[in-house]
Amino acid sequence: MPLETRSDGSTTTPSCPKTKAMLEDVLKQISDFDALKLPELKGELEGFVKKQQGLVDDYKKVYPDLKRRWLAQHTDVQTLYTQLKTTHDPLKDPWKDLVSKCICAKQKEVDCLGEAIRNRKRCSSGKLEYEWEQAKDAFTAAKWRLDVLLALAAKLDAALTADGNWIKSIQTLPAPDRVTVLYLFWVRLLPAHRALKPADLPRDCPVPGDDETPEKICKTEWDAKCPADAWACIPPASTGGAAWYEGRSLPWLIPADAYEGALDCAWDAYRQAKNKLAIAEAAFKATPDDLATNVKRHTAAKDALEAEILKCLKTTWTPTDPCAETAPTEERGV
């Protein structure tokens, strides 16, 4: 092997990767490739491509009517908004404290319980197990988004029907139940209606509620830290955050000429999430580090401990004085 010359004139053997490390790298690449199941993904994609144009054409046909229904509901929502800002404003007395106690605080209790569960699960997870769980969550979200877009017209029809029912319910509430509009309108109907808003609305079509979103109404309560969980541990620093996807929450009234592009983006996000899930699953299954596996390892190691100690002593020790290593004998009497 040729020698490399250092800056001081001396020579040294060049540093190259170990062949064992190269073999491990090649095996990992093969494992990752197998995990991707590309022929399966190819079949999925070919099936999607065949039906994509039909989906786009069908959506273009129904979009005008879906938008018309939203605009009709928008008139009712604006009327309710104007009325309830006068009679049941969640940001003003006498409703503010009631909203805090009955809506914001109760939602916070549920959120804190969820946080405690996530922390406990995170504390008991191995690194590879946690990365696999994160990949599963990301894949589930990407697949859900794709599924919604594939059935967007039906999802929008169902959402508009639900909003229409909420409007009728609020409009016909008997006097003793009017207090429930603090939840039914401000937390349920108004955010749902705003979420469906078409992107191609004219500029002179305002959508009320910017200052009355649930996040702003409950900001004090929801920004507060959750109570300490006496039995919880502190999870290690996260190796990755929650999955983030560009775009608004679905479903919403995507303009007809933007629907095809939305499908493309959703399929690409699904493909990437599926690939990452496959690689994370393969890595975990190759070297499982979940709690159950570690319990089994601990039991096996404990059972084999004495034998391992004796084996280590015998194979590691090299005597410096062979005579000192003779078997002990009984002491003879004089």
Please check the confidence at residue 228 and state whether its pLDDT lies above 50. yes
Q: Which of 16-20, 206-210, 294-298 has the lowest mean pLDDT?
A: 16-20
Looking at per-residue pLDDT, the higher value among 154 and 45 belongs to 154
**Residue 24 confidence (pLDDT):** 73
For residue 33, the Cα-to-chain-centroid distance in whole angstroms is: 24
**Residue 25 confidence (pLDDT):** 72
Position 5 confidence tier, pLDDT thresholds 50, 70, 90: low
**Residue 280 confidence (pLDDT):** 92
**Residue 240 confidence (pLDDT):** 47
Q: What is the pLDDT of residues 302-327, one digit of tens each?
A: 999 999 999 998 899 887 766 655 55
Q: Which of 106-120, 196-210, 224-238 has the lowest mean pLDDT?
A: 224-238
Specify the amino acid at residue 279. Answer: I
Q: What is the pLDDT of residues 75-124, one digit of tens each?
A: 999 999 999 999 999 999 999 999 999 999 999 999 999 988 888 888 88
Over range 245-268, report the average pLDDT.
Answer: 87
State percent of the chain over pLDDT 70.
Answer: 85
Number of Cβ within 10 Å of residue 253's Cβ equals 22
**Residue 157 confidence (pLDDT):** 98
User: Token match 């509430």: residue?
Assistant: 173
Do strands 4-5 and 11-12 pair parallel, antiparallel, or not at all (unpaired)? antiparallel
**Residue 170 confidence (pLDDT):** 97
State percent of the chain over pLDDT 90.
Answer: 61
Domain ranges of the chain: 28-228+253-287
Q: Which helix (H) or strand (E) holds 103?
A: none
**Residue 2 confidence (pLDDT):** 54
Who contacts 7 (Cβ-Cβ below 8 Å, separation ≥6)?
A: none
Q: Which of 158-167, 175-184, 271-280 has the lowest mean pLDDT?
A: 271-280
Over range 33-50, report the average pLDDT.
Answer: 77
Q: Is the dihedral of CA 33, 39, 44, 45 positive or negative?
A: positive
Number of Cβ within 10 Å of residue 252's Cβ equals 19
Of 29, 77, 279, which is closest to residue 184 (Cα–Cα)? Answer: 77
DSSP 240: S
**Residue 334 confidence (pLDDT):** 46
